[in-house]
Structures are given as C-alpha cells and as structure tokens.
Amino acid sequence: MTATDLIMYSTTWCGYCRRLRTQLDEAGISYTVIDIEEDPASAEFVGSVNNGNHVVPTVKYRDGSTATNPSLSDVKKALAALG
C-alpha cells in the first residue's frame, strides 16, 4: 500500500464519493482514489467485498479491511484503531 491512510474505490459520477473526498480533505486524511470504471481489477475487488455489487465508495484500510460507503466518523474510528 502507498503512504496514504486508505484507498477509496470510486467513480467520477458518484455523489457519495465526492462528499467523502471533501470530508477526508477537510480532515487532513490522506487517500488514494481508484476509479473502478477505469480499472477492471479494482472493480472486481469492490464486487468481491460487496456481495457481487460494485458499490462505491468502498474504502480499503492499511490492514486490508474494507468499509462500504463509510461516514467520516467511521473512517476516523477505523484509522484510530489501526494506530
């Protein structure tokens, strides 16, 4: 994984993704965005953790755990638990 706090799987048209990105930016949380429409392997990964559905935003943390459409509060709690 990169030096970022998390990876966010997204699409360009997803309003929930835009909202989470804005919140992460304001909170100073670093992240990498991967557009699942441009990266078939990432789309497969998102489907694999969402019962076959390509739900975005899906977030992957440093430890490999994931969250689907998490709130900023959920992200902060997960990152705090990871240390």
Strands 31-35 and 58-61: unpaired
Mean pLDDT throughout 25-40? Answer: 96
The H or E element that residue 20 is part of is: helix 15-27
| CATH label of the domain that carries residue 17 | 3.40.30.10
Query: What's the structural domain count of the chain?
Result: 1
Q: Is residue 11 part of a domain?
A: yes
Q: Is residue 83 part of a domain?
A: no
pLDDT at residue number 83: 86
CB 17 within 8 A of CB 70: no
pLDDT digits (tens, 9 = 90+) for 10-24: 999 999 999 999 999
pLDDT digits (tens, 9 = 90+) for 36-63: 999 999 999 999 999 999 999 999 999 9
Q: Is residue 69 part of a domain?
A: yes
Strand order in the sheet with 58-61: 31-35, 6-10, 58-61, 66-68
Residues 24, 37: Cα–Cα separation, whole Å: 22
Q: What residues make up the domain containing 45? A: 6-74
User: pTM for this one?
Assistant: 0.92
